[in-house]
A and B are shown apart, each in its own frame.
Chain A
Amino acid sequence: MSAQMSRKKASAFDRQLIWRALGDSFHKLSPAWMVKNPVMFVVEVGSALSTVVAIRLYAQGQIPVADFTMQIAVWLWLTVLFANFAEALAEGRGHAQAAALRGTKVSATAKRQKGSIWEEVAATELRRGDVVMCSAGDLIPSDGTVIKGAAAIDESAITGESAPVIREAGGDKSAVTGGTRILSDEVWIEVTANPGETFLDRMIGLIEGAVRQKTPNEIALAILLAGLTLIFVVVVMTTEAFAQYSGLHLQLVILVALLVCLAPTTIGGLLSAIGISGMDRLLRHNVLAMSGRAIEAAGDVNVIMLDKTGTLTYGNRMATEFMPLPGVEIRDLAQCALIASLADDTPEGRSIVALAKEQFGLEDPQSGSEPPVYHPFTAQTRMSGVDLGAHQVRKGAPDAVAAYVGGVPAELEKALTEIVEGIAHQGGTPLAVADGGRVIGVVHLKDIVKVGIRDRIAAIRKSGIRTVMITGDNPITARTIADEVGIDECLAQATPEKKLEYIEQQKAEGYLVAMVGDGTNDAPALAAADVAVAMNSGTSAAREAANMVDLDSNPIKLIDIVEIGKQILITRGALTTFSIANDVAKYFAILPAMFVPIFPGLEALNVMHLTSPESAVLSAVIFNALIIPMLIPLALRGVRYRPQSAATTLRNNLFVYGLGGLFLPFIGIKLLDMMITALGLVALR
């Protein structure tokens, strides 16, 4: 099973993963690990304290109080474990994928060039700049560039795509990846990575989270959460002083419960899971982000640069219309175009045949007595055609065809020029058709926009992102396609320099730019862009300059990447808001429970009418614990992202997570209190 297969099958609730995560959540209880997350560390300390208190109470024989304290302690431990479980589950998926990838890193040997001879060395000994020779059946020992020869390579270990790809010396398809297998032929490869720095190594490292750095937003949020926790520590400690002043002695466990309920444990417990699962989600899209920063930048992008060819359009021009000159039947034109294209195997030629058959129900002409003579397209003639007996048909560039027939009659020349210019103006390519000695009409070839692309562009624009089309076409042609797709701007007659210049200009205005590239000459622009996605099929220079690699080499995925980036941020924000809004209800559960013994009037704050102070505290603590596992699926899957304006997104999410966070715990705590009362979990007064 390839890595990709396992990746796709790894569902969130895979039983094996869950078992492993369960084990990990206990390993992570080690204080050395917990201290990295101040919020949960405070909970752990509180859990330990409560446990000690409970044991002491048992020893003193105060059984009812000890039972209550122990229950709180257990739920506090569960709070920590649930948070650890969330993180372990998110990491677990990565571990499984990394294990599969590591399987491909067998101890390969390589034939290294040493002077004029080839020596057999272990792959781990290869250094940047070494030249190795690989032939059919060999595992490529390290990342490199093909410097001689061409070969079919199976890259399924990396990409999951089983169709072999061709890699050859020179050009933009020269990069090879260590761990992939040569299927045919023999190539010389110059190694471009030292051991431990190869693409596969980095990929494993990234997936395993070993080198996962916190993203800038995550750091900022962690600071805020730590600050809030610190504040609540002071709140709880001073509450003890105020209570003593009021003549009330509070149990330690109640104070700990208050602290844990107020501290932002929900987001604190799920924060790292959100980040890890975001990376994982990208990976399941077969995109490898070199840093968390890049994923986050993807969410921030304001400008997306998309190549026209291959991304927005199919890349081939297709026949869309037959345009006869005056006095010619359209059907005759279609017939001649069909004949002229019979032997034309290019996509354009095939599209002419298809259009003629579809529009006029024409069929392949019967071959006559004489065998047809085909005239293939050449750069000199700039046309192609067939001699079918006396029937000589040609199609090609209008001026070439006109020259072939010895000029167009003056009365038709105007009509021809009009048609040709009209097509060019719409961004299409005119193809003149001649039958015998005269031009009879023109076939309109145009770029065909990919199915569904318009909707995707419209969706991304709704989120306030500007789309820019990059094309080598002239501005008029470019604008026509851009309008058809719904693109905001186009960068026509684009050269690598122009791209770079454009990106730098956008950045100077404060925009964040995302782009896709594959060639070596894209590298400077990729390096300048905030989000730079290199195609896996691209050169190693492009891959080095980029901060993400798309293993499927599908450029339109840039839009998915942006959406995933946004989704991570939204999830983080939503759970933070939810977590903080929860505090209100918890105050109303715990404060009256704490203070009613001394100030009975404060029972008025017990708006949920919880049964007893003990059940109130316990239900708040249980709610606080259970909300974490309940939100794990949301944290791992991410809050759904809809393309819409920021104002609408904010309103919807504030409504769901802000107001929801305010009211849901009132209901949840009340229900838990009813259950606790029904089960008699706490001794009633």
Chain B
Amino acid sequence: MTLVGIGGIVLFLVVVTLVVKPVGLYLYNVFDGGRTWLDPVLAPVERAIYKVGGVNPAKEMRWTEYLFALLAFNLVGFVLLYPVLRLQGVLPLNPQHLPAVGAHVAWNTAVSFVTNTNWQAYGGESTLSYLSQMWLTVQQFLSPITGLAMVLALIRGLTRKNATTLGNFWVDLTRAFLWIALPVAAVAALVLIALGTPQNLAPYTIVHTLQGAKQILPQGPVASMTSIMQFGDNGGGYFNTNAGYPFETPNAASLMFQLTLGFLVPVGLTYYFGKKAGDTRQGWTIFAAMMVMFMFGVFVTYWAEAAGNPIVSHLLQHAVPNMTGKETRFGVAGSSLFETGTTAVSWGSTAAANDSFTPIGSLILLFNMMSGEVIIGAWGVGLIGMLAFAILAVFLAGLMVGRTPEYLGKKIQAYEVKMATLAMIVPTFVILGFAAWAVSSRGGVSGIFNPGPQGLSEVLYAFSSGVGNNGSAMGGLNAASPFYTWTVGFAMLIGRFPMYIPALAIAGSMVKKQRVPPSIGTFPTNGWLFGLLLIGTVVIVGALVFFPALALGPLAEQFAMQAGHLFGGVPK
């Protein structure tokens, strides 16, 4: 660990903390009738969209209507995307004449981009035409705003009282798109171009290297896709190597810019939540709990990667950090920060090879996803998950103050507990269930390239990434095999819809409740004590269930590595 590395990480944490309030206030202005300086341009567009779409923006929806609209919207997204992938060979904008995407991979990819996962069972530049890439970019706009709409509904459910409706899905979607996704992505794309990322529709460039070899340099609308893929926490990169590729992230400045971009909305939402709750400390408490866990993860990863592999150090006769699979442009600190960040934010962009991380480093990446992507998390869904944990924490410990537990003055009763428990069960069942299936079935085991604990980590990683809608891959797994395209595909679907439907159900039930005015008899959900309680709940209830699996995966490997033992060779 170097001073520069630590300094850079701390600087990033400070920047993230500083943007919380302005972003939160901007969200508040966008969604709660405030004014923004974009209004003169966008308000007419918004009205036109409603007119064309036949939407009455004043009509509010119950939670079931809201859910139905949301599901229908996503279904249409899937139905339109799948044929584009299958038919790209005959569709325009395909200068490389790439053939149609196979059925399994197309299904997996369509699900992946509808669910904001961006798990890539394909290599972008070698599989997809420009049209397909741009169509994916469309989904990269639509899936994060869907997540944002979900959390808006949940927040309204928690903060309105004696109401029945949660807002209008189409309005939330339109405003999120026009006021947030579109302008920021446009500006960010320009910044990325300025930092060296290409943006064109030209065919791939063929260059001859100094050694005389022929090299193909892929081209295309990279900056426009990269900006929204990072801002929208999508993570599905233009290139197979994602943010590690020089055209996507030419330098460390571009890397830090992209990293900040991905944190903007998720952290800003915590402030927005506090503002809506009428007590910004509620939001800051959630933010603090997220950040403490995130910081812990970053520094542990950085420490593990900086410490490196003792076996390698022994061979080289001096201590070296673990630079395997890391870009020299970003170094150990930058790579550790970026990978921890994109796993925590349910984002999945990668600037390093996660498979080459030390076992402890990959343990943190796994933990970030296994905890339910609540350590910041992607647009909306991170906060939804954290609020579900807050409800559980309030219920578990809240009884200890001698009152029926309340969150934001609303009683947490059997229905809410049932739904929050359901949301908690989903990731556990999917990750453990699918992973157990994978390691005990021929289809699963044959896709594992690294036997031993590393292979188990890779399998756990794939399903954690899928169900967490993260999308990053550890690697070392034949993700394009039918077994993994289908299982991970289902993991992504379950992790998106069955996981968050309970959240909307909670919103629908909570919105009807009376709000009990706070007094000194009220369980305080703002302040350090609740923050600690929340962290304890996430760790003990959310993540500890993975302890046995993690013990056989990264932990076993780490201790073996320290004892000078390596795994490899053919599977037993």
Residues of A within 8 A of B (CB): 216-217, 219-221, 223-224, 227-228, 230-232, 234-239, 241-247, 258, 296, 299-300, 302, 462-466, 509-512, 565-567, 569-570, 572-574, 576-577, 580-581, 583-584, 587, 591, 594-595, 598-602, 604-605, 641, 645-647, 649-651, 653-654, 657-658
Is the Cβ of B399 less than 8 Å from the Cβ of A646? no
Residues of B within 8 A of A462 (CB): 520
A230 and B403 CA atoms in complex are apart in Å by 27
Residue from the list B429, B555, B562 in contact with A234, Cβ < 8 A: B429
A337 and B207 CA atoms in complex are apart in Å by 120
Is the Cβ of A653 less than 8 Å from the Cβ of B549? no
Residue from the list B395, B455, B520, B545 in contact with A464, Cβ < 8 A: B520
Is the Cβ of A581 less than 8 Å from the Cβ of B540? yes
Residue of B161, B397, B529 with highest tally of chain A CB at under 10 A = B397
B15 interface contact, C-beta 8 A: no
Interface residues of B in 351-376 (CB under 8 A from A): none
Is the Cβ of B533 less than 8 Å from the Cβ of A220? no
Residues of A within 8 A of B413 (CB): 216-217, 220
Is the Cβ of A569 less than 8 Å from the Cβ of B404? yes
List 15 other contacts, CB 8 Å, given A241-B439, A583-B544: A217-B404, A220-B414, A238-B435, A238-B548, A299-B403, A465-B521, A510-B409, A511-B516, A573-B396, A574-B400, A591-B548, A595-B551, A601-B558, A641-B402, A645-B521
Also in contact, A464 and B436, with CB within 8 A (given A231-B424, A649-B400): no
Also in contact, A220 and B417, with CB within 8 A (given A241-B436, A244-B440, A510-B409): yes
What's the least CB distance linking B525 to chain A, in Å?
10
Could you list 13 examples of A-B contacts with CB < 8 Å? Answer: A220-B413, A231-B429, A245-B445, A299-B403, A464-B521, A465-B519, A599-B552, A599-B560, A600-B563, A650-B524, A654-B397, A654-B529, A657-B400
Is the Cβ of B540 less than 8 Å from the Cβ of A645? no
Residues of A within 8 A of B559 (CB): 599, 601-602, 604
Residue from the list B161, B416, B547, B563 in contact with A591, Cβ < 8 A: B547
Is the Cβ of A595 less than 8 Å from the Cβ of B556? yes
Residues of B within 8 A of A653 (CB): 397, 400-401
Nearest 6 interchain pairs by C-beta: A464-B521, A601-B559, A573-B399, A566-B402, A227-B421, A241-B436
B348 interface contact, C-beta 8 A: no
Also in contact, A602 and B551, with CB within 8 A (given A462-B520, A511-B516): yes
Also in contact, A227 and B424, with CB within 8 A (given A510-B517, A601-B562, A645-B521): yes
Chain B interface size, as a band, is: 35 or more
Residues of B within 8 A of A237 (CB): 436
A649 and B405 CA atoms in complex are apart in Å by 14
Residue of B nearest to A588 (CB): B547
Give chain A's interface secondary structure class. Answer: helix
Is the Cβ of B421 less than 8 Å from the Cβ of A650? no
What's the least CB distance linking A364 to chain B, in Å?
53
Residues of B within 8 A of A (CB): 161, 392, 395-404, 409, 412-414, 416-418, 421-422, 424-425, 428-429, 432-433, 435-437, 439-440, 445, 452-453, 455-456, 514-517, 519-524, 527, 529, 533, 536, 540-541, 544-549, 551-553, 555-556, 558-560, 562-563, 565, 572
Is the Cβ of B552 less than 8 Å from the Cβ of A243? yes
Residues of B within 8 A of A464 (CB): 519-522
Residue from the list A220, A244, A465 in contact with B395, Cβ < 8 A: A220
Residues of B within 8 A of A646 (CB): 401-403, 520-524
Residue of A511, A595, A654 with highest tally of chain B CB at under 10 A = A654
Also in contact, A587 and B547, with CB within 8 A (given A216-B413, A654-B397): yes
Residues of B within 8 A of A565 (CB): 402
Also in contact, A223 and B517, with CB within 8 A (given A242-B439, A646-B524): no
Residues of A within 8 A of B455 (CB): 245
Is the Cβ of A216 less than 8 Å from the Cβ of B572? no
Residue of A nearest to B529 (CB): A651
Residues of B within 8 A of A569 (CB): 399-400, 402-404
A512 and B406 CA atoms in complex are apart in Å by 13
Is the Cβ of A584 less than 8 Å from the Cβ of B540? yes
What's the least CB distance linking A638 to chain B, in Å?
10
Residue of A nearest to B452 (CB): A246
Residue from the list B402, B527, B547, B563 in contact with A299, Cβ < 8 A: B402
Also in contact, A238 and B400, with CB within 8 A (given A224-B421, A464-B520): no
Is the Cβ of A463 less than 8 Å from the Cβ of B402? yes
Residue of A nearest to B404 (CB): A300
Is the Cβ of A580 less than 8 Å from the Cβ of B428? no
A229 and B456 CA atoms in complex are apart in Å by 25
Residues of A within 8 A of B544 (CB): 583-584, 587
